[in-house]
Amino acid sequence: MTLTITPIGQAFVGEVTGLACGDPLTPAQVVAIEAGMDQFAVLVYPGQHLSDEQQMAFTLHFGELEGKGQGRGRTSSHIHFRTDDQARRLRPGIGDFSNIDNEGKPLPADSRAHMFKLADQLWHSDSSFRPIPAKYSLLSAHAVPSWGANTEFADMRAAYDALEERTKAEVEDLVCLHSQIYSREVVGFEEMSEAERAEFKPVRQRLVRTHPVTGRKSLFLSSHAGRIEGWSIPDARMFLRDLAEHATQRQFVYSHQWSVGDMVVWDNRVAMHRGRRFDPTEPRDVRQTRLAGDVVTIEQVD
């Protein structure tokens, strides 16, 4: 089979065919995929049906896993405020982004885990709340609900390019504060202990990033961004909302309708994403691996 990447959607997404992701990759295939990730913001691999072990092996061709540290809802030993009876026993390094517990039952609507994950329906960039944000996120579908649950992606490079020159000059040197506190407050998840709030201490990120390979500039937006240094909170939040509305116009967005077996990979440095609503009484089993970033944006040199 010959690896082929075909543009789909708004042309910042590519569909990969001619590749079995569960098999070991050749060096040439790794190079081709990395070039595809640099060209596109999102790559879709339909019908892969990967085991956790296969997803992990595929992921590690492209970098190191992101650690479990600050800001991932891990004030306990479990991800996203899951309790012991809600935590599934997945392979180490696999992030449980499902809505089901260890018995395969949907999480209760009044559980902290369910309410915390609702904010994933806001536009965001994975791990922007960490000092070094994530590089790639890889999400595979093991079970999908009967309706909804699309994942939408927005091209932050095209959004930056489309800004008027006055706004480009205005955003060039701005620094934002990112924290999951900000995104969770939007959905009303405000009851956090002092220890939890300390874990989610805001971090500084540049509002404009430059891709290390292509040199293209992009907006680094996220629902986790709640302040702009040197601005009042009302002014900052209105400006960030305006930028997000600009960046998520239809011409910048692709919506992926999941099928069981799909894997989608996106570059958090140049793409924002969000999940869409679905029936929470139906199981949605999606599993994520995430690659560590390699640059502190605040120190980035153009």
Number of domains in the chain: 1
Return the DSSP state at 111.
S
Is 298 a domain residue?
no
Token pair of 56 as six digits: 């992990």
Per-residue pLDDT for 69 more than 60?
Answer: no
Question: Which residue type occupies 157?
Answer: R
Residue 182 placed within a domain: yes
Q: What is the pTM of this model?
A: 0.94
> What is the predicted pLDDT for the residue at 158?
98
Inside any domain, residue 300: no
Q: Is the pLDDT of residue 70 over 60?
A: no
Would residue 92 count as lying in a domain? yes
pLDDT of residue 37: 98
* 112 domain residue, yes or no: yes
Chain segment 175-214, per-residue pLDDT in tens: 999 999 999 999 999 888 888 888 899 999 999 999 999 9
What are the start-end ranges of the H helices in the chain?
Answer: 27-39, 52-59, 112-117, 156-161, 165-171, 180-186, 194-199, 233-247
Question: Does residue 72 surpass a pLDDT of 50?
Answer: no
> What is the amino acid identity at position 61?
H
* 74 has a pLDDT exceeding 80: no
Each residue of 80-92: pLDDT tens digit? 889 888 999 898 9
H/E stretch holding 154 reads: strand 151-155
pLDDT attached to residue 302 = 44
Identify the CA nearest to 154 among candidates 245, 25, 38.
245
- Is 301 among the domain residues? no
Q: Residue 159: give the domain boundaries.
A: 4-293
Per-residue pLDDT, 220 = 98
50 part of a folded domain: yes
In this structure, what CATH number is given to the domain that contains residue 281?
3.60.130.10
Query: Is residue 302 in some structural domain?
Result: no
**Contact, 172 vs 60, CB < 8 A?**
no
- Report the mean per-residue pLDDT for the chain: 93
Q: Cβ(292)–Cβ(65) under 8 Å?
A: yes
